[in-house]
Amino acid sequence: MVAPRVYQAMAQPVVGHLDPYFFQVVEEVRSLLGYAYSTKNQFNVAVSGTGSAGMETAVANFIEPGEKLALLTNGFFGDRIGEMARRHGGEVVRLAKPWGEPFDPQEARDFIRRERPRVVAFVQAETSTGVYNQAKPICEASREVDALTIADCVTSLGGMPVMVDENGIDIAYSCSQKGLGCPPGLSPVTVSPRALDRLKSRRTPVQSFYLDLQLLDSFYTGHKYHHTASATMFYALREGLAMVAEEGLEARWERHRVNQEAFVAGIEAMGLSMLVPAGHRLWTLNTPRIPEGVDDAKVRQFLLEKYSMEIAGGFGPLAGKVFRIGTMGYSSTAENVQLILQALADALRSVA
């Protein structure tokens, strides 16, 4: 859900993309992103596009043709990183786990040390499965072999600890519409000084003009035209990030944790089980298993028609096997948890 304060912020008059006020908002967003990402990085930008634009920004800027990218994947969005890297000419080597199964830290370390890639990519919060992958062992092994790390934080930013500096993540990207409680349309990206140095020493131009971080920096900080950014979306993101700062990261994380645990307790009381083992679950997105013989499409249609409530189904090998139910951002409240549990129980009774 979009926070009411964000809707109000979006009602402000639209200014041009080269207006001084727009760049004031951009600067406030840059600073607030540092807080949300738990980083001292100064290179924080909001790319005009969804989370997949952030993903492709990371790949396009930090993978050159012929370079090796070591991919740790256990879900749909990990696989998407690999496909983007392949299209940008990267040599992709994979450590793949079954969807919903977390990585063993030592297995991840051994893979990176053996492959010695130029870049390592992983999904911290796998939106397709509900798994939270531990960043620190991946980043530590990457530093050992002088590789940069790319982390997909689309479903963790604003709801779970991302901890860019503490974990040693070099490039992180997210989206505006999940934990930050804004509409889709911007992808917050943060880049470490180490990664910036690597970017400046590229042998070949970034293949994407639109997603070239150095060109984007010349726009956002140098005020040199690059593209027509939406002032309205920046108003929204600034307000969503301000709400994160006002609540405080620790308090916000705790709210998400408590509400997610209440959701799981309710799911288990209904006789259902979770796909992801305890200790590896996202606090923002839940994947309860669909009971045998239940048509997930009918459940989702029932919820939409009776309760005006939309939940998602599974991707790929999890299609028809799990529901994907968000408890994130402005939506993460005890009242909403009770509402979805009651509605889901009603739906399962009605379509059985």
CATH 3.40.640.10 in the chain: give the residue spans: 4-247
Q: Describe the crossing of helices 105-115 and 136-144 by its angle, rounded to 10 degrees.
A: 20
- CATH 3.90.1150.10 in the chain is located at 249-351
DSSP secondary structure of 271-334: T--BSSPTTSB-SSEE-BBPPTT--HHHHHHHHHHHH----EE--GGGTTTBEEEE--GGG--H
34: confidence class by pLDDT, cuts 50, 70, 90: very high
Rounded CA separation 260/283 (Å): 5
State how far the Cα of 63 lies from the Cα of 119, in Å rounded to an integer.
7
Options 3.40.640.10, 3.30.460.10, 3.40.50.150, 3.40.50.1220; CATH for 4-247 is 3.40.640.10
Q: Dump pLDDT digits (tens) for 291-320.
A: 999 999 999 999 999 999 999 999 999 999
- How many C-alpha atoms does 155 have within 13 Å on its Cβ side? 23
Q: What is the mean pLDDT of residues 251-265?
A: 98
Structure-token pair, residue 323: 């529901």
Q: Could you read off the pLDDT of 5-20 as tens digits, one per residue?
A: 999 999 999 999 999 9
CATH 3.40.50.1100 fits 249-351, yes or no: no
Q: Where are the alpha helices (DSSP H) in 45-154?
A: 51-62, 76-87, 105-115, 136-144
Quick one: which of 161, 97, 98 has its CA closest to 125? 161
Pairing of strands 186-191, 171-173: antiparallel
Which of 218, 164, 225, 155 has its CA nearest to residue 191? 164
| Strand duo 68-73 + 186-191: pairing | unpaired
Query: Is residue 79 scored above 80 in pLDDT?
Result: yes
Q: What is the pTM of this model?
A: 0.97
pLDDT at 352 over 90: no
| CA terminus-to-terminus distance, the chain | 29
Q: How far is residue 153's CA from residue 123's CA, in Å, rounded to a whole number?
A: 7
| Closest by CA position to 328, among listed 159, 193, 100 | 159
Model confidence at 157: pLDDT above 90: yes
Is residue 39 within 8 Å of residue 190, measured between CB atoms? yes
**For residues 144 and 161, what is the distance between their CA atoms, to the nearest angstrom?**
24
What integer is the mean pLDDT of 61-90? 98
pLDDT computed for residue 15 by the predictor = 98
Nearest CA-CA partner of 53 in 192, 178, 210: 210
Residue type, position 239, single letter: E
Q: How confident is the model at residue 60 (pLDDT cuts 50, 70, 90)?
A: very high
Give the pLDDT score at 204: 96
